[in-house]
Amino acid sequence: MSLDLNQLIPQIRQMSKTIIDRSQTVEARIPALQAVMQQGVPDSEKLQKKKDRAGKNWGGALPSEEPIQQFYPPPPTPESYAVLGADGSQIYPNRHSLALYYLINTGSIRIQYGSGNVPEIFSSPQVFYQEDDLYPDSGGQIDTALINGKRDVSEMEELARLAELNHDTPTIALLDNGLLLWIAAQSPNSSKRLVDQIVQRYQEQMLRLKQSGTALAGVIDRPRSPNLVRLLQILQLPLEAISAEALADPDLQRLSDRLLLQNWLPEGFRTARLVQSSSLNEDFSRAGLPIEFFYLNNGFENQILRVEVPGWVAASKELLDLVHAGILQQCLSTGGFPYVLARAHELAVVTQPEQRIVEETLARELLQHGFRGMISRKQTTKQWLGGKKRHTL
C-alpha cells in the first residue's frame, strides 16, 4: 500500500476540526443576511448606486420583478407533458495513445407523461481526428475547454432535436449544468474566433428551443455560487461603506446561497427569480437570451438546487411553473436529482473498458492497413501497474 495511513489519519482529524470551526463561524452570519432579504430591495436606484460602487467585477445577483423576499409554492403537475434530458462526456486527446483524437458522446432521454409510451433513450458518439479538429487555429493542439464547449453544444443540439418532435406537447428540456457558457473564461489561451464560434452555435440551439416553445432549464446540484449572498451584502452595507476590502469579508466569501437557504426555504418551494450580474450574461442578453435563476428545495433533506432558465421561460408563468413542477416530480424517483439527467449521464459516460475497446478497434483497423500503432512506454507501464494496484481507505 503506497498511502501511509499513519501519517494521514492525524491530518484528517485536524481537517475535520477546522471544517467544523469554520462552518460555525460562517453560519453565524446567516440570520443577519436573512433579515436583510426579508426587507426586500427598498429602492432600485439606490441598489444601482451600490452596484456601481461595488465595481464591474462584482459577481452578485440582481432582482427580477419578483420580490426577493418571496418564496413560491410548488404548482400542480400537468397530467400530460414531456421531459427531455441530455448530458455529454468525452475522451480527451492523449499523446500516449495510438493516435491523436478526441471523442464526444451525448446521451439523452425523452419521457412523455400521460401518453402511455415507454421512455426513449439515445446515445450519439462522434470522434474527431481531422487536422482542423485537433489544430483548429494557428496555436497548438485544441485545449480541453474548447472540447468541453463542443460537448455543451452537442447537448443543447440534442435537446433542440428532441424538442422539435414534441409539437403540441408542453415540454421541459433539462441540462445538468448552468445555461451560461463560460468557455471564454475557461479557455484564455484559445483564440476569440474559436470561442465565438462555439458560443454562436450554442446560442443557435437555444433559439431552436425558444422557437419550439420548450421550457429549457439548467439544473445545478449542490451549488456553491454566492450570487444572492453578494446582493444581500451590498444591501446590508451603507453606500459609503462599500469597498473592495468590505466586499472581501472572508466569512461571507465562504458562505454560499445554498447554505443561506437550506434550512429556510420550505420543501418544494422556490425563491424569486434573480439575474446574475456578469459580462457573459450581458452578451447572452444582446443575443436575446438573458439568463435568470432561482433556488429550489427539492423536498429531500433540504437539498437546494440552482435552476437557470432563459428569458422566454422566465417571462412565462406557464413555462416557469412547468419547470418548477416538472423538476420536483423528476426528483421523486431519485431522492433529489432529476431522473432524466441521471439517466442521460448513464447513457453518455464513456467508461474505461469502453475506452479500451475504442483503442483496440483502432489498433485492428490500423493493422489491417499495414500500420502498427504503438502506445507510449509510459502508458504501457501504467497499464501494467494499474491492473495490480488496489487502493482502499
Would you state the pLDDT for residue 62? 95
Residues 6+ apart with CB under 8 A from 88: 104, 105, 106, 107, 151, 152, 154, 155, 348
The span from the CA of 335 to the CA of 194, in Å, is 40
Could you report the per-residue pLDDT of 77-136, keeping only the tens digit for each?
999 999 999 999 999 998 778 888 999 999 999 999 998 899 999 999 999 999 989 998
The span from the CA of 253 to the CA of 230, in Å, is 9
* pTM for the full predicted model: 0.90
- Please report how many Cα atoms fall inside a 13 Å half-sphere around the Cα of residue 359, on the Cβ side: 21
Contact 59, 227 (CB under 8 A): yes
Would you state the pLDDT for residue 138? 62
Q: Does 319 score more than 70 pLDDT? A: yes
| Structural domains for the chain | 81-348 (3.30.2170), 352-386 (no CATH)
The span from the CA of 311 to the CA of 99, in Å, is 44
Could you report the per-residue pLDDT of 324-372, keeping only the tens digit for each?
999 999 999 899 999 999 999 999 999 889 988 888 888 888 888 777 6
Q: Does 302 score more than 50 pLDDT? A: yes
Query: Which grid cell sits at 381?
Result: 507501464
Contact 149, 121 (CB under 8 A): no
- pLDDT > 90: what percent of the chain? 68
The span from the CA of 225 to the CA of 263, in Å, is 17
Pairing of strands 171-175, 215-221: parallel
Q: Does 392 score more than 50 pLDDT? A: no
Place of cell 450574461: 281
Band the pLDDT of 301: cuts 50, 70, 90: confident
